[in-house]
Amino acid sequence: MSRTYDHGGNIFDIARKLGTEPAGIIDFSASINPLGFSPKARKSIICALDSLVHYPDNTHGELKQALAAYHGLSAGNIVVGNGSTEIIYHLPAMLPGSRALIISPSFNEYVRSLCQQQWEVRHFILKPESNFSIDLPALKHALSEGYDALYLCNPGNPNGTLYTLRVIEQIYSLCIASGTFLILDEAFMDFCEDSSAKRDIVRGDNGIVLRSMTKFFGIPGLRLGYALSSGTIAGRLDAMGGPWSVNSLALAAGVAALLDREHNQRTVEYIRQERRRFSERLTEMKQFKVYPSSTNYLLVEITRGMSARELQERLLHQRLLIRDCANFMGLGAEFFRVAVRTTEENEQLVGAMKRILK
């Protein structure tokens, strides 16, 4: 039996059900760079085609060096994977212990990966009414109950909340004091890099930072992600799984994307401006509450009128796909997430929503 995953970006399945081509649907459910991937990465993929007659570089040496330069770290602090999801699935088998606490709402694959290794999972639920702030004394009390691992996504997914470096430092200190290993998922941190806790985490053996090249760099189809940690943790993680998990085209594109500073800076500036404009347009609809975000998506709560699933279904008739967030722990049927896309596409969604809400 095939496995079904409730994520955004299931554009191919949706297109088959609608009897249309994927290109005919505007996908707001997956938070991918609206400017597309780097032109330099495109050229590198074409140039790397002839390398397909060889096995990929199993050491990921060139990409690790590029990532080390990008982050100002050592290549020994870096582990490359077939998307950060591959690393997420390796961690429960690598870590000692059996009890995990997840700060939620958050990425659903944490739970799936832990359950595969028979971990006990509990959730520390953040409240929408407090804009998903983290109550540190309450978290300290929760950790005192004895957890081997704590999972935290910063910026939050799906809420987009950016926790300050000071808050992350305090959480990390709580983890060290309680003997809890911190898994800090910074999949969307490229949009606000100055807030990354990577330098603190790599200094010790009590945590790991997960990073993705899917969102900011816009190459979800190539499956490329990595982790930042101490050399000890990186060595243990590198030994997990089998060889050649990352293909040659992904490795080439990753190096080129990291080096394209012009495209990357243009992405940061575009998202900052368009996110603000898009949020203001959505807020014009009185049935919506739009939550603050520091990344390339917005969490929206429907305060009256219909559920997110109903809105999603009605938008699909117009070939517009949003992310129903009802399956996120701590959120209800009234929440949905939308990616920040181009101004024209965002306006198309706003117009469709206004017509529906009337």
In the chain the domains, ranked by start, together with CATH numbers, are 11-30+262-357 (3.90.1150.10), 39-259 (3.40.640.10)
For CA atoms 157, 161, 165, 169, the dihedral sign is negative
Task: Give the strand order in the sheet containing 323-324.
Answer: 288-290, 297-302, 335-339, 323-324
Name the nearest CA neighbour of 208 among 321, 318, 90, 112.
90
pLDDT tens digits for 257-311? 999 999 999 999 999 999 999 999 999 999 999 999 999 999 999 999 899 999 9
CA 282 to chain centre: 23
pLDDT tens digits for 141-194? 999 999 999 999 999 999 999 999 999 999 999 999 999 999 999 999 999 999
Q: Which residue has the tokens 């000071």?
A: 166
Alpha-carbon distance 252 to 49, whole Å?
10
Q: Which residues of 263-283 are buried (b: 16+ CB within 10 A; e: fewer)?
A: bbeebeebbeebbeebbebbe
Centre a 10 Å sphere on the Cβ of residue 319 and count the other Cβ atoms it contains.
Answer: 16
pTM reported for the whole predicted model: 0.95
Segment 332-347 shows an average pLDDT of 98
Q: Is 51:248 a contact under the CB 8 Å cutoff?
A: yes
Q: Is 52:248 a contact under the CB 8 Å cutoff?
A: yes
Alpha-carbon distance 142 to 126, whole Å?
13
pLDDT band (50, 70, 90) for residue 358: confident
Segment 340-350 shows an average pLDDT of 98
